[in-house]
Every structure is written in C-alpha cells, then in structure tokens.
Amino acid sequence: PMGSWLRLRADIDPTDFDPAVRPIVVALQTYGAVVADNGSAFYLSGVPDARWDNDQLRTLGRLTGADFEFVDASSLQVAPNSYEATTAS
C-alpha cells in the first residue's frame, strides 16, 4: 500500500550488483524505501542527475517485491491517527 515502508532483505548480497549501485543496495537494506505510487509495476525511482549511469542503475531491476520486507514502524507513532513520530532518545 502507498506509504508503506519497505526494506531490502538482509540476505540480498550487495556484491552481486555493479559497484556503482552497491551504495543504493546497502541503503535499501539499512534505511529502506517508501512506496510512493502503487499504480504501476514495481520499480525504483530517484532524482534525475546526469552523473547517474542509467545502464548501471538498470541492474537494480533484478530486485523484485519479494526481495523486500515491510517495516513495522508502529512503535515510532505518537498517536494512531497521526503521522507524528517519536524522537530518538
């Protein structure tokens, strides 16, 4: 669902990807990603930048929805009907 927080599973090996996209794979494992649009096939998008090599980025297309897990962030909620989150202590 839109707004879901997904994290790349820990058993996905970043070294299986082009060195240029490994930081993205590691970031997806560490921080995850938020589902921003549920109207099309599963794909990743980012900020356009001439420094990206599109051929290298396309190697991320090997990832599927099954490679991700949902993150339960409910412990961060201040209230059930709010998007406000607790601060780190």
| Contact of 7 with 69, CB cutoff 8 Å | yes
CB atoms within 10 A of CB 18: 15
**What ranges do the domains of the chain cover?**
5-76
Counting residues of the chain whose pLDDT is more than 90, the rounded percentage is 36
Could you tell me which residue, 46 or 69, shows the higher pLDDT? 69
Contact partners, residue 46, CB within 8 Å, separation at least 6: 52, 57
Tokens of 30: 């560490």
Structure confidence at residue 89 (pLDDT): 62
Residue range 14-31, pLDDT digits in tens:
999 999 999 999 999 999
pTM tops 0.75, yes or no = yes
**pLDDT tens-digit series, residues 68-89:** 999 887 788 888 887 778 876 6
- The CA R_g of the chain, rounded to the nearest whole Å, is 15
